[in-house]
Structure formats: C-alpha cells, structure tokens
Amino acid sequence: MRLQRFATEVLVIGAGPAGLAAGYTAVRSGRHAILVDENPAPGGQIWRGEWTTPRSSEAALWFDKVRRAPLTILTGIRVIAEVAERTLLGEDQQTAYEFRYKTLILATGARERFLPFPGWTLPNVMGAGGLQALVKMGFPIRGKRVVVAGTGPLLLAVAAYLRAHGARVLMIAEQAPLSRLLWLGRGLWRFPTKAWQALILRGRLFDVPYRSSCWPLSANGDGRLQSVTLQCGSRTREIPCDYLACGFHLVPNVELALLLRCEVREGCVRVNEFQETSRANIFCAGEPTGIGGVDLALVEGQIAGYAAAGRPEAARALFPQRDRWRRFASRLNRTFALRPELKKLPDAQTIVCRCEDVPRGRLEEYRSWREAKLHTRCGMGPCQGRICGPAVEFLFGWTMESIRPPIFPARVESLIASPEQGESVWR
Ligand SMILES: Cc1cc2nc3c(=O)[nH]c(=O)nc-3n(C[C@H](O)[C@H](O)[C@H](O)COP(=O)(O)OP(=O)(O)OC[C@H]3O[C@@H](n4cnc5c(N)ncnc54)[C@H](O)[C@@H]3O)c2cc1C
C-alpha cells in the first residue's frame, strides 16, 4: 500500500460551499492550504457535478475564484481517522494519505434524514437528494412517475430538478402544517433572494400539487415500488408511481468532529464566534454547526478561513451577514420540525437498521442506543449508524455516545500503512 504524506498550515476537509470558501479565504490571506474531499470533484451537495459546467452564477463565481487561487485541492479521498496529534489519515482506491496540519477546518456538510415506514426499503424508494444526485450523474428519469415526500426546502429543489430532467412529478407531500409554511412565507420579505428562489421553484412546479400536513404511510409493491399511501390531513390516498423520493430534512455530519473530541451538542458541532470548536485550532463551518443552507455555509467558511489565517478583524466584518443567515436558518428549522405522528410510522416489523436488518419491534426491548447496539447490532453495519442513528434518535430519543475510528469502512492496508513506507509531499 502506497502512503503519501502531506503537510500544510490549513487543512480543510470537505469541498462544498463552506470548505471552498474556507480554503479560498485562507490562501488569499497568505496561508498554505489543502482542501480534501471524497467526491470526484469539488462542489459538495448543492453544486455536485457542476465543477466543469456550473448551473448557477454563485457556483460559477466561487469555482472561478478557487481555480485562480493557489489552493491545493485533492478529490476522491475520504478522511477516515486521526493517526497522531494534528495528523489525519485518508484513503482512495489505491493509496493511503497522511495529512499533517497546524490548523484544521471541518466542513463535512450534512446528509438526508431517513425515517422508517412500512415499505421504505423497497427498491425505487430513495432519498430525495439521493435520487437527485443519481440523476446528476446520468441516471435516466425521463417519463418516470415520481412522488416527492418528507419535509424541508430540499423537496421543492429536488422536484424542480427531476422535472427539468423529464420526470413526471405527481405530488410533493410536505409533512409540515400549512400554518407553519405560511409563517415562513410571511417572513421571507426579509430575505428577498430566498423569496425569489422560492417563487421561481414554485413557478417551475406550478401544476404539481404541493400538499401540506401530508406524509407517506407506506410504500407498496411486490419486490419493487408500485404505489405510495399518503396521509394527507384526515384522508389517506394511494398514488401509483415508479419512484418515491423521500427525505426528512438534513442531519449534520459530525462524525469527524466527534472523533477529534470536539464538543457536539444537540447533534451540532459547538463553535465560538470565530467558528472555532472546543478544540484549539480546529474550526468548523457549514452544515455540521447546524443546518443552515448554502449562504450560511459560505459565510461561515469565510469566517473560519480568516480566523484560521489569523485575521480576526476580517472575520468579524462578516458577523452581521452570518447573523442574518442564522435567522433564516432558524425559521427554516422551526418550520420543518418533525411532527410527533411520524414516530408511529414504523410498525413492529418495519426495518429500522437496514444494514443489520433490525426491525422496530426488537429495538423496543432496550433502553439505550448502547444496549440496543450490543444486543441487536443496530448501527454496526457499513453505514455505521449514519442512516438508522438519526431515525432511532427521533423514535426513541437515544443518542450515539461515541464514535470509533475508522469513521467509514476502510481497508486494513490503509490503517496499517506506516509513515516509513511512504513518500512525502511536503508543502
Ligand atoms: C443529498 C443532498 C442534496 C442537496 N441538494 C440541494 C439542492 O439541490 N439545493 C440546495 O439549495 N441545497 C441542497 N442541499 C443542501 C446543501 O447541501 C447545503 O445547503 C450546502 O451545500 C451546505 O454546504 P456545506 O459545504 O456545509 O456542505 P456540503 O455541500 O454537504 O459539503 C460537504 C463536503 O464534505 C465532504 N466530506 C464529508 N466528510 C468527508 C470526509 N470524511 N472525507 C472527505 N470528504 C468529506 C463531502 O463529500 C461533501 O462534498 C442538499 C443537501 C443534501 C444532503
């Protein structure tokens, strides 16, 4: 196993909007910085697949700035463990990588929250963002009947994207009640760009029914999805479809921060006003500090970049902008809070941990995540609790107590690759 070693002043993990902004700001402030991402190209979730052909002016602007900056970008490398003080280990298909840093910025983003309901493991039931990501990579959706369900602003974005690629979007089922959606809408005058984006999206979906207080009760089919049954207000209805794109807002990716012993509270990495975590010289920006969207991710990334480069005054100048996007994020999170009825969706036979085939009925025998894990292997499969963990937290109120390296399934060769074997890329 080859081992390549890098050393830098500022190491940024995650090349989504937050990481790009952080890396760019650090190098423009005179620091040497390396940006690492597991995806094949920078862009994160929102700008996935757009590095060579950006679709929005904002993506084009940031990609252009980053390309012109002396920032080293390493893609296709997943960071999996800490191997020594201020040293992280990563791997790709062939090689292990060791990254030594003075200052670290975590910009690891978020993932979708999945909630179990009968039939949710059937083929063609997918995460909303997951189906969008597949289509971005060329998955054929033209002519397919799609129901988009769950909660959050992502549903509209996904529905509009799928439709633009030829899907027949039959309905958007949003679990939030109309009263909260109206409350969100009334406050949008303070965020004109967001109001405009919402109007554009709604315009693109003008003839697609958008139902509030509506959520999936079951996905039905023999071997693959054939229809979805929805609770819409007091009525239930069944809609035949080819795909169900379903996600219940987002969950911060905090595993690397946990591994590095940064304080995490209520599922989010705790940071001070300069985006510094409870560990000195480890900063965090974007979704891991709280779900907030692309604008908050960009401004937090810049603040972290400036702070990491020792320019607190430049960081401070961005605080008002961050406050504004935090207010927007807090409105979003209140609007799309999960309703308690969703806890009743899975019955005793419904699989909760799909890696280890653990149904809800088995979990009910236990009182904590640890107990359930020890007795059922819930959360011990390849996803390491990334999917069932947030679901179990919502259903039973159990939180993961600790995380063990490697944070992703990794090759033993990578874990044992010793520095002596390696060639050094000192920067
Ligand atoms: C599936 C999905 C689809 C979305 N689609 C949209 C959309 O269409 N429109 C919209 O407005 N918002 C969308 N969002 C929300 C959007 O992601 C955020 O608003 C914004 O991109 C947050 O930026 P970020 O930099 O914090 O995180 P992200 O964009 O998530 O970037 C984080 C990056 O970190 C990398 N990473 C994480 N852990 C590691 C590791 N251990 N090693 C190496 N790399 C790592 C990931 O590969 C990723 O590229 C989506 C979110 C998700 C989860």
Please state the domain extents for the chain: 2-111+251-333, 114-248, 345-396
pLDDT at 399: 87
pLDDT at 131: 97
Residue 426 has pLDDT above 70, yes or no: no
Whether 250 is in the pocket of ligand 1, judged by its Cβ within 6 Å, is yes
Give pLDDT tens digits for 166-209. Answer: 999 999 999 999 999 999 999 999 999 999 999 999 999 999 99
Average pLDDT over residues 140-158: 97
Whether 360 is in the pocket of ligand 1, judged by its Cβ within 6 Å, is no
Give the closest residue to 227 by CA, choosing from 204, 244, 245, 208: 244
Give pLDDT tens digits for 382-407. Answer: 999 999 999 999 999 998 767 889 99
Which helix (H) or strand (E) segment is 152 a member of?
none
Whether 23 is in the pocket of ligand 1, judged by its Cβ within 6 Å, is no
Q: Comparing 17-31, 146-160, 400-414, which segment has the lowest mean pLDDT?
A: 400-414
- Give yes or no for a contact between 298 and 18, defined as CB atoms under 8 angstroms apart: yes
**What is the distance between the alpha carbons of residues 52 and 47, in angstroms, rounded to a whole number?**
11
* Paired strand residues for 211: 173
Residue to mutate (ligand 1; options 25, 36, 46, 249; most atoms within 8 A of CB): 46
**What is the distance between the alpha carbons of residues 244 and 128, in angstroms, rounded to a whole number?**
8
**What is the distance between the alpha carbons of residues 196 and 319, in angstroms, rounded to a whole number?**
24
Rounded alpha-carbon distances, angstroms, from residue 239 to 16, 142, 244, 247, 353: 36, 19, 10, 18, 26
pLDDT at 418: 55
Cα 423 to ligand 1 centre (Å): 32
- Give yes or no for a contact between 41 and 47, defined as CB atoms under 8 angstroms apart: no
pLDDT at 180: 97
Q: Comparing 8-12, 121-125, 191-195, 234-238, which segment has the lowest mean pLDDT?
A: 191-195
- Give yes or no for a contact between 26 and 12, defined as CB atoms under 8 angstroms apart: yes
pLDDT at 365: 94
Q: Cβ contacts of residue 319 below 8 Å, gap of 6+?
A: 273, 303
**What is the distance between the alpha carbons of residues 403 and 388, in angstroms, rounded to a whole number?**
15
CATH architecture of 2-111+251-333: 3-Layer(bba) Sandwich (3.50)
> Do 2-111+251-333 and 114-248 come out as alike in CATH topology?
yes
Whether 384 is in the pocket of ligand 1, judged by its Cβ within 6 Å, is no
Structure tokens at 96: 């292990």
Residue 349 has pLDDT above 70, yes or no: yes
**What is the distance between the alpha carbons of residues 304 and 334, in angstroms, rounded to a whole number?**
26
Cα 80 to ligand 1 centre (Å): 18
Whether 294 is in the pocket of ligand 1, judged by its Cβ within 6 Å, is yes
- Give yes or no for a contact between 304 and 323, defined as CB atoms under 8 angstroms apart: no
Average pLDDT over the chain reads 95
Rounded alpha-carbon distances, angstroms, from residue 115 to 43, 201, 371: 27, 25, 21
Give pLDDT tens digits for 332-342. Answer: 999 999 999 99
**What is the distance between the alpha carbons of residues 287 and 265, in angstroms, rounded to a whole number?**
14
Whether 41 is in the pocket of ligand 1, judged by its Cβ within 6 Å, is no
Cα 45 to ligand 1 centre (Å): 4
Give me the DSSP letters along 7-50: EEEEEEE--SHHHHHHHHHHHHTT--EEEEESSSSS-TTTTTT-
Residue 77 has pLDDT above 60, yes or no: yes
Cα 405 to ligand 1 centre (Å): 22
What is the CATH code of the structural domain delimited by 114-248?
3.50.50.60
Phi, psi of 173 (to 5 degrees): -105, 110
pLDDT at 115: 98
pLDDT at 424: 46
